[in-house]
Amino acid sequence: MRALGVVPKTRRRRNEALLGYALVLPALVVFSVFTFYPFARNFKLALYVTPPYPNLPSRYVGLHQVAQVLTSSSFLTSFETTLLFSVMVVPAGLLLGLALAVAAHRKLRGIAIYQTIFSSTVVTSIAVTAVIFGTLMNPVVGLLPWLGITTTPPLLENPTWALPCIAVLTVWQGIGLSFIIMSAGLQSVPDELLEASRVDGASAWTTFFRITVPLLSPIIFFALVVATITAFQSFGQIDLLTGTNSAFLHTNVLTYNIYQTLLVGAGNPGKAAILSIALFVATMLLTLVQIRLLERRVHYAR
């Protein structure tokens, strides 16, 4: 007979394993149904054409449709727009967040108020931001008529200016998160290092570029990857501000293109699936490129 209360080792192991599976199961079910299955199904849908009339069966066309979509000007322009948009949004957002975080990382009177102000844009959703800036860019009540400037057509109906305008509000909305991430990073930079550099007579610029930036590089890198992925998925501001005119206004980013292809008019799941795969591949490649090119330069303390 075994001593009371002592469970044999093998059984304890088995129980531990069973508990482990049970604990990861809920998340795994959600991922399987709503992430992996739909992700994989894109590759099947891509090979089928849905006729533009309801209740007709979809038809297998193989890779023909893939080639057709990937060479279409609609896809190529929206891909280009997405890239251009990211270039406008990502560096500006990171720089602003970093600058504000460094400025607010000081023991000055009233600093807590500034910190609250800078992080506050995390609570203004993209819909709220779009409405706020839509008003500021309005041709009648906006800022430009204040300054006596009139643009024809108005900013948000102007193929040249619509995308930069949307980029401006996207950067503004991103300030909060960028600031919070950078501030969190700054807190792990030892104050003594910054102090020592100051005592040694280093100028603010030198301290910033020689001490702060290298020590912050893992965080900056993290923020860059997150910001790029977020920029690639921008949707709400486009839907609210340029909507169905997006193709004409050169604001038809990939996500908006997917949405339109899937839901506007008859809807075309096959084409939308191909665009989704393209979005995934683009996100993935961009992240990998960033990791390969930049991570070597990132300075890890450990």
Rule CB under 8 A: which of 1-20 touch another protein? 13, 16-20
- 208 contributes a contact to another protein by CB under 8 A: no
The backbone torsions φ and ψ at residue 280, rounded to the nearest 5 degrees and listed phi first, read -60, -50
**Beta carbon nearer to another protein, 72 or 124:** 124
Among 133, 154, 162, 246, binds another protein (CB under 8 A): 133
Q: Which stretch binds another protein (CB under 8 A): 31-39, 58-66, 76-84, 85-93?
A: 31-39
Among 93, 134, 154, 174, binds another protein (CB under 8 A): 134
* Shortest spacing between CB 28 and another protein, in angstroms: 7
* Shortest spacing between CB 88 and another protein, in angstroms: 17
Classify residue 97 as left (phi > 0), alpha (psi -120 to 50) or beta: alpha
- 165 contributes a contact to another protein by CB under 8 A: no
Pattern 217-256, another protein, x by CB under 8 A: -xx--x------x--xx-xx--xx--------------x-
Pattern 46-65, another protein, x by CB under 8 A: --------------------
Alpha helices in the chain (DSSP H): 9-31, 37-45, 63-71, 73-104, 111-119, 126-136, 143-146, 162-187, 191-199, 204-206, 213-232, 236-241, 254-263, 269-294
- 67 contributes a contact to another protein by CB under 8 A: no
**Sole residue written with tokens 């009177």:** 109
Rounded CA-CA distance 76/301 in Å is: 42
Among 49, 83, 117, 202, binds another protein (CB under 8 A): 117
**Sole residue written with tokens 């930049």:** 294
Q: Which of 209, 212, 179, 181 has the alpha carbon at shortest distance from 194?
A: 212
Under a CB-based contact definition with an 8 Å cutoff, are residues 64 and 146 in contact? no
Q: Which stretch binds another protein (CB under 8 A): 68-76, 83-91, 274-282, 290-298?
A: 274-282
**What six digits make up the tokens of 176?**
């909060």
* Shortest spacing between CB 248 and another protein, in angstroms: 19
